[in-house]
Amino acid sequence: MSIVVLKLPNVKRQKEERPRGCPYCAGETFQRWGQVSKPVKDMWIRNVRVYRYRCCGCKRTFRHYPEGSSRADQTERLRVFAILLWRLGLSHRASSLILSGLNVWVSFMTIWRDVQAEAEQIQKRNQWKPVRIVGLDGAYVLGWGAKQPVLVAVDLGTGEPLALGYLDESDPQALQRWLAPLIQRHGITVIVTDDLSSYKRVAENLQLGHQVCQFHVRRWVGKALQEFQETVPKEWLWVLEEIHSLIDLLPPDGSKTLYALWKQLPGRQSKREQPRSPLEQLRDLLLRLSQDWHSYCTFQSEPQIPRTSRATEQPMGKMKMRARTVRGYKSRPGMQSGLLLAATSIV
Ligand SMILES: [Zn+2]
């Protein structure tokens, strides 16, 4: 278990050192040019001392702020604290209310802006980051009075969200359009997903390694086998056992075994317009599993590839929770950055 160290930025009442360089001309010699007491919004201090300097080179004057404050009304410490309240799940208004209880008055709009700016910072940092393995997961979140389909890409090296898109994960064209530039920018080589056919197609088209989440496979195959237990003729029940143990053990040559089983089952006898018999459906299942087998076992080729999409579901869960309480997002980019920040871990 990792130890979480959360530290708010330091705020000093006055600056000890002189400025290093002129912000205008990078000159290195200055004259003091007076001082002012600047009122600040902060939990503990009410004002800081700001010195003015005049550059001997370009003769312009500038303010030299002590650590933790800037031109902004609020100190860095207050900014980080307010964002932290929001990230812990409070609304912008509730965060503002909590601060007023600490005798600090910050409007909810200011907190909204700070949250947005912080999210943009994170997105900028992520923009060119090399990422090899990503988890993809889609969901519907509330927004603009209706449910919106979103897709999140999670960097499985760090567990942090990498990008968020507004698209339906089951639409292969939209998926490919969104994924292709992301793959190029970050150098992604493997995706980990559930077993929607759209992911399969896109992984093939973009020549990506693909790991299908094992929980998902076991769940749906388990369910299918249970149904077959009731419907398939008794003399074929052993095939169900066989599939069960293959899915359990995931042998590398499972595809061949499944294909051989497929060949043993009688071919299609029902007519085109007739529904398929249970045995024919079992045959289809064998073929599908045989064809997809490699994507169940990709994790065996490299220890870094997870076998499930659990690590993707965590940030997705945080996002969904946040989306329920987020109101007033007028634009998609605004909501996008809000949700991404909500899914990013606090430290
Ligand atoms: Zn200068």
Q: In sequence order, what are the residues at sequence separation of 6 or more whose Cβ sits closer than 8 angstroms to the Cβ of residue 160?
A: 126, 154, 315, 343, 344, 345
Sign, CA dihedral 199-204-207-210, equals positive
pLDDT digits (tens, 9 = 90+) for 226-282: 999 999 999 999 999 999 999 999 999 999 999 999 999 988 888 888 888 999 999
Question: Facing residues of 49 across strands?
Answer: 37
Report how far ligand 1's centroid is from the alpha carbon of 28 (Å). 8
Crossing angle for the helix pair 76-87 and 108-126, to the nearest 10 degrees: 90
pLDDT digits (tens, 9 = 90+) for 12-27: 988 778 888 899 998 9
Q: In sequence order, what are the residues at sequence separation of 6 or more whose Cβ sits closer than 8 angstroms to the Cβ of residue 262?
A: 283, 286, 287, 290
Report how far ligand 1's centroid is from the alpha carbon of 20 (Å). 11
157 touches 131 (CB < 8 A):
yes
Q: In sequence order, what are the residues at sequence separation of 6 or more whose Cβ sits closer than 8 angstroms to the Cβ of residue 332?
A: 166
- Residue range 189-218: mean pLDDT, rounded: 96
Other beta carbons less than 10 A from residue 84's beta carbon: 14
Question: According to the model, what pLDDT value does residue 238 have?
Answer: 96
| C-alpha angle 184-190-191 in degrees, rounded to nearest 5 | 100
Report how far ligand 1's centroid is from the alpha carbon of 33 (Å). 13
| Amino acid identity for residue 337 in this structure | S
Look at 70-74, 150-154, 187-191, 264-268 and tell me which has the smallest mean pLDDT.
Answer: 264-268
Question: According to the model, what pLDDT value does residue 56 have?
Answer: 94
Report how far ligand 1's centroid is from the alpha carbon of 69 (Å). 22
| Torsion angle defined by CA atoms of residues 198, 201, 203 and 209, in that order, rounded to the nearest 10 degrees | 110
The structure tokens listed for 80 are 């980080």
Report how far ligand 1's centroid is from the alpha carbon of 11 (Å). 27
Residue of 218, 221, 224, 217 whose CA lies nearest to 199: 217
Report how far ligand 1's centroid is from the alpha carbon of 31 (Å). 11
